[in-house]
Amino acid sequence: MSTKHTERHRTERIGWLRAAVLGANDGIVSTASLVVGVAAANATRGNVLIAGAAGLVAGAMSMAAGEYVSVSSQADTEQADLARERGELDTDAEHELAELATIYVGRGLEPSLARQVAEQLTAHDALAAHARDELGISEVMSARPLQAALTSALTFAVGAGLPMLVVLLVPEQALVFVVAAFSLVCLALLGGLAAAVGGARISTGVARVTLWGALAMALTAGIGRLLGTVV
The one-digit pLDDT tens for each residue of the chain (231 residues) are: 444 444 454 444 455 566 677 788 889 999 999 999 999 998 899 999 999 999 999 999 998 898 889 888 888 888 887 888 788 888 888 888 888 888 888 888 888 888 888 888 888 888 888 888 777 776 545 567 888 888 888 999 999 999 999 999 999 889 999 999 999 999 999 888 877 776 778 888 888 889 999 999 999 999 988 887 755
SS3 content of the chain, % helix, strand, coil (to 5): 85, 0, 15
pLDDT digits (tens, 9 = 90+) for 14-41: 555 666 777 888 899 999 999 999 999 9
Alpha-carbon distance 29 to 203, whole Å?
19
Q: What percent of the chain is predicted at pLDDT more than 90?
A: 33
Residues near 38 by beta carbon (within 8 Å), at least 6 away in sequence: 47, 48, 51, 52, 224
pLDDT digits (tens, 9 = 90+) for 74-114: 888 888 878 887 888 888 888 888 888 888 888 888 888 88
